[in-house]
Amino acid sequence: MAQLTIADLQGYLAMKYKEGRTSSGLFMKLVEEVGEVAEALNQLEGRKAKEDQGSLEAELVDVIHYAVAIASINQIDLTTAIIEKDKKAALKYNQTPNLEEFLEK
């Protein structure tokens, strides 16, 4: 199976959604998918009867898809943004290593 990076996914989704999709439209799909993750978790944890719904894995993939798509059509470099956001969080919560340090090891 091919290896996938965040940058690869962003490039693919930028191409896929270059026309006809807006951030707000993609956000509505993201919210829908987050609801489906909640349904899957409720079923897995026994709070709701199992139905013929999507698996947690599939629903999480959909959430990632739409979140990355929103970033892609807004020219946000998620790799850089994730590392920078993690650095700030690590400082704020006094955590080590931060993501960048982890990746360097």
Predicted local distance difference test score (pLDDT) of residue 47: 87
Query: Residue 32 is part of a domain; what is its CATH number?
Result: 1.10.287.1080
Which range of residues forms the domain containing residue 102? Answer: 78-105
Predicted local distance difference test score (pLDDT) of residue 70: 98
**Comparing 5-14, 43-52, 67-76, 85-94, which segment has the lowest mean pLDDT?**
43-52
Same domain, 44 and 88: no
Residue 54 has pLDDT above 80, yes or no: no
Same domain, 69 and 88: no
- 1-46 confidence digits (pLDDT tens): 899 999 999 999 999 998 889 999 999 999 999 999 999 999 999 8
Predicted local distance difference test score (pLDDT) of residue 52: 67
Same domain, 82 and 41: no
Long-range contacts formed by 3-7: CB under 8 A, 24+ apart: 5/79, 6/68, 6/78, 6/79, 6/82, 7/77, 7/78, 7/79
